[in-house]
Chain A
Amino acid sequence: MSKEHLVVERARKAFQTGKSKPLEFRVNQLKNLRRFINESRKDIADACKKDLNKSGNCTELFETLGIDGEINIAVKRLSEWAAPRPVEKSLLTISDEVFLQPEPLGVVLIIGAWNYPWAVTLQPLVGAIAAGNAAVVKPSEVSSHSAKLMEKLLPLYLDEELYPVVCGGVSETQELLRQRFDHVFYTGNSTVGKLVMEAAARHLTPVTLELGGKSPCYIDKNVDLRVACRRITWGKFVNCGQTCIAPDYILCEPSIQNRLVEEIQKCITEFYPDNPKTFEDYGRVINQHHFQRLMSLLEGSTVAIGGESDESLCYIAPTVLKDVRGDSKLMQEEIFGPLLPIVTISGVEEAIRFINEREKPLALYVFSQDRKLIMRMIAETSSGALVANDCLVHFTVSALPFGGVGNSGMGRYHGQHSFDQLSHLRACLIKKLNMEAANAMRYPPHTDKKLAWARIFFLTQVNIDRLRRMAMLAMFTSLAAFIVQRILRQR
């Protein structure tokens, strides 16, 4: 029996004891997780530096602050989320209890990614713990320092049996996926996403897939380019472009392309003085494999900014390419790197067509001061999320569900969405054995008369509203008639 099988068995047994169900336990574990983050800030920052050349401040900003936020909301609102949720009743259930009972699913598998190794692995864990589940955490082996640190330290803070960390590569992940889970939460690319879904299918396990895609960024020609470019440059080159919701490519009219390039250059100079290569806050490409992949994408396109690289450091300068064609190499796959193509189109009409010809992206960005244009983009395209006039920030609003659609994924999380995604909302109806006379009409032997009554009584809430409205109308009409009559009598 494999190590992975044993770990999952142990987690399941731990779950079956019921210890993860009480709210106090869950809150306790979440608080321990928070303590872990607080006490390990330096270690986490070191690991991120080694993995991705993330600066300490970067790690704070993009990894740990987010996890902190999720934990704080979960701790504060858990009792509200976990409480029974009442729903509408019908005429016959007026005296019954009708509600949704949130319940844990069981053992959840969380497969993390390497680009934000802490955020995308631990934020789902917050949801899993809050919902009362056990969770097997499989951090990405690609961000190896972070994975090792998680494996070493997490068991010191969290219940080891309920929330084990399993490290390893492809074969260990495959072995994990052979086990039975009650939910699999995967962050990564669509190719592996399909394999995860297939593996889960064998056990009829539901999945949440946080994938990616090419997130378009449309820039209206009448926009304040200076501010727009600051936000886009920031959004693109954070983490060296290795963000699932980074603006992948720009769509704009040819008339503003040159100004765009100028403004972006200004931002790069301001953000990474004097040279991105030596500047602390500019990241690195994760490994050689991705470095080579990115360099090969440059083939056939015109560099307008940057283009320098250093394979020994996995360094690629912030790079912008102009006049990129729709069929170029850069436009065939998600870039996931510091290369920003500009594709020119004749206007918003063509932009919408261009976007709709491709798979639904995880995020769609629109820069415009024209509200109508923004609403049109929203109405005529589809994407996981849409942000007008900025990039990435929707990730921080936990009330907004974070997830994809179509090729960019299925399911959602953040805040209460994490809790709901990793719970079963059980439909409950608790009746009493009284009002049996009313039930008589549903029992055989059936007669047309009983049927007629049953049809009326099994009406839903909606029909009750209709009846209520009709009754109100009848009441007002008769009242009006009465008043009119009295007036006439007085004459």
Chain B
Amino acid sequence: MANQSEVIDRLRTTFRSGVTIPEEFRLNQLQKLLSLVEENEQLILDALHKDLHKPKFESVMSEIQITLNDLYFAIDNLRTWMQPEYNIGKNLATKMDECFIRREPLGVILIIGAWNYPLHLILLPLVAAIAAGNCAVLKPSEICQATEKVLAELIPKYLSQDCYAVVCGGAEDTKSLLKNKFDHIFYTGSQAVARSILLAAAPHLTPVTLELGGKSPCFIYGHIDIQKAARRLCWSKFFNTGQSCVAPDYVLCTVETRDALLPALKETLLSFYGPDPGASADMGRIVTPRHWKRLADMLGKSQGTVVIGGESREEDRYFAPTVLVDVPESDSLMQEEIFGPILPILTIESLEEGIEYINRQEKPLALYVFSDESSVVNTVLNQTSSGGFCGNDGIVHMALPGLPFGGVGASGMGSYHGRWGFETFSHRRSCMKRSWLLEKVNVLRYPPYSEYSLGWLRWATTFKKGSWGSCTVM
């Protein structure tokens, strides 16, 4: 593998030359990335199937289409995003001046991908990095070897090799990569690794975006069409075999709701995957034997009762869509993010009980509420916190480029998608061009200070109380 420092130096030199700054260059590279995805769809689909046994539908929607959407969005809006912001309120003494905020590139970005959506978790941040005028080092997850290989081949083929590089390798390679200085690090993955990334970034004062995870709770409460709720819940839970950072991790509902939910879930799963999900082309697999074992252990230690599924096969890492009831808070399934096709149902007696439970845990990446009653939805929304929130569906909130996608607390920091990614990889530089005129007004601020001049300045302050601008006058 080419020397990491050499690669980064090359990118930094290119960045310093200013070539990534002009709009035409950025658009050009985004168009090329678009071609990369459009022209190699089958290749990508094959790699994803090899790595994760992803059903074609899932690969297309959650990897290809979401990337294409973000690219179209960026290409169409880049000019607007790049415009300096002029609508800045000013105060009395700065009325004659030009104030604006520019979005400027940071430099060389490091993007570390994850294995569950190995394509879009690398490409969506890359779209934002390119749009914001940066260079980027991509470090795809080594767990998805076929996809890693495809990225390593295609990126240099389509994009400028002086601006964007793919670095492959395992944990040791990532560690050594992190010894270098970057202008921003974008990481998707686990909390444990996130800590070491922050510790590596601190000596360089590098800002970091962390897209982590957590246990995303799902309330099903109050008056609800249980059939529809069950379908949407099953779809979001078992998409990518439950290996989504925003998958509903567990359900909170009353006993009555649970009793209505279970037959609806059974029926839905039957309609989705047929009587034997292991034979369905639409059912994925667990990514590695190690993760399969983790899930099998978790399930084995659980005190809950399996009411749906429970079967699994080590040879092909198959795990049936599984639902458990009577799961206590202390259960093995409730100690860490499940990240698999196992759905525990916890019963609560009241909404407050459920909210209290959620608030005792770490802030999740997503929070779901299924209910026809808007008061229920609003109560949960107002009394909890999470990265994102979706009422009456799962996952889909992350497909809207208008919404920032990111966590809070233990589920992460920072956000991206659409314009949010552009802002993440930009520096908002405040610019002010003072007029040479009004030097007489400036006299008020120079020493020797006097009550007289202070009086005038305070008058300006009170006068300006009604405006958007600051109330201090220098």
Contacts and interface: CB of A to CB of B under 8 A. Distances in A.
B198 A427 contact: no
Interface string A220-236: 00001001001100100
A395 B231 contact: no
Contacts of A13: none
B280 A65 contact: no
Contacts of A459: 69
A428 B396 contact: no
Nearest to A446: B57
6 contacts: A271-B447, A281-B447, A405-B429, A427-B415, A433-B228, A461-B401
Contacts of B273: 444-445
A197 B385 contact: no
A439 B449 contact: no
B150 interface: no
Given A101-B389, A383-B429, A462 B205 contact: no
B328 interface: no
A461 B434 contact: no
Nearest to A105: B408
Interface string A226-255: 010011001000000000000000000000
A273 B450 CA distance: 13
Given A383-B429, A397-B88, A73 B470 contact: yes
Contacts of B32: none
Interface stretch (B135-143, B252-260, B457-465): B457-465
Nearest to A206: B413
A445 B400 contact: no
Interface residues of B, number: 118
A424 B385 contact: yes
A451 interface: yes
A150 B208 CA distance: 33
Given A424-B385, A445-B280, A463-B69, 15 more contacts: A55-B449, A103-B385, A182-B409, A197-B198, A230-B442, A234-B447, A279-B448, A398-B469, A400-B88, A400-B430, A430-B392, A433-B225, A433-B370, A444-B55, A444-B273
A399 B434 contact: no
Chain A at the B interface: SS class? mixed
Contacts of A379: 21
Nearest to B55: A446
A345 B389 CA distance: 56
Interface string B388-427: 1111110011011111111011101111000000000001
A61 interface: yes
A388 B102 contact: no
- Among A100, A106, A200, A400, chain B packs the most CB atoms within 10 A around the CB of A400
B123 to A, nearest CB: 15
Nearest to A451: B57
Given A204-B191, A204-B194, A227-B439, A58 B474 contact: no
B282 A445 contact: yes
Interface in A44-90: 55, 57-58, 60-61, 65-66, 68-70, 72-73, 76, 87-90
Given A101-B381, A271-B448, A446 B282 contact: yes
Report, nearest first, the 8 A-B pairs whose CB atoms are least far apart.
Answer: A69-B471, A201-B198, A57-B449, A446-B57, A87-B402, A398-B470, A444-B282, A429-B397
Contact of B449 (A100, A281, A430): A281
B274 interface: yes
A380 B388 CA distance: 38
A430 B392 CA distance: 7
B471 A72 contact: yes
A193 interface: yes
B178 interface: no
B222 interface: no
Given A227-B436, A444-B57, A444-B282, A273 B448 contact: yes
Chain B at the A interface: SS class? mixed
Given A393-B474, A431-B392, A204 B282 contact: no
Contacts of A397: 88-91, 94, 99, 430, 432, 469-470
A101 B390 CA distance: 12
B76 interface: yes
Nearest to B209: A206
A489 interface: no
- Among A61, A382, A463, chain B packs the most CB atoms within 10 A around the CB of A61
Contacts, number: 337
Given A400-B88, A410-B205, A454-B57, A378 B430 contact: no
Contact of A396 (B21, B283, B435, B474): B474
B57 A388 contact: no
A61 B434 CA distance: 20
A351 B278 CA distance: 67
A320 interface: no
Contacts of A409: 205
Given A194-B202, A396-B474, A427-B403, A461 B432 contact: no
Nearest to A392: B474
Contact of A429 (B18, B391, B450): B391
Contacts of B81: none
A272 B191 CA distance: 56
Nearest to B443: A230
Nearest to B413: A206
Interface residues of A, number: 118
A79 to B, nearest CB: 15
B287 interface: no
A327 interface: no
B292 interface: no
A400 B428 CA distance: 9
B434 to A, nearest CB: 4
B154 to A, nearest CB: 21
Nearest to A233: B446
Given A396-B472, A430-B391, A93 B88 contact: no
Given A204-B195, A230-B442, A460-B400, A400 B387 contact: no
A386 B389 contact: no
Contact of B392 (A194, A204, A433, A451): A433
A402 interface: yes
Contacts of A491: none
Given A69-B461, A204-B198, A458-B69, A428 B381 contact: yes
B390 A431 contact: yes
Contacts of B307: none
A385 interface: yes
Given A89-B400, A197-B201, A380 B18 contact: yes
A432 B434 contact: no
Contact of B202 (A198, A273, A450): A198
A424 B408 contact: yes
A358 to B, nearest CB: 13
B49 interface: no
B425 to A, nearest CB: 12
Nearest to B60: A451
Contacts of B359: 16
B432 A388 contact: yes
B7 interface: no
A406 interface: yes
Interface string A429-441: 1111100100100
Contact of A444 (B99, B280, B390, B401): B280
Nearest to A101: B381
Contact of A442 (B202, B235, B274): B235
Contacts of B146: none
Contacts of A402: 430
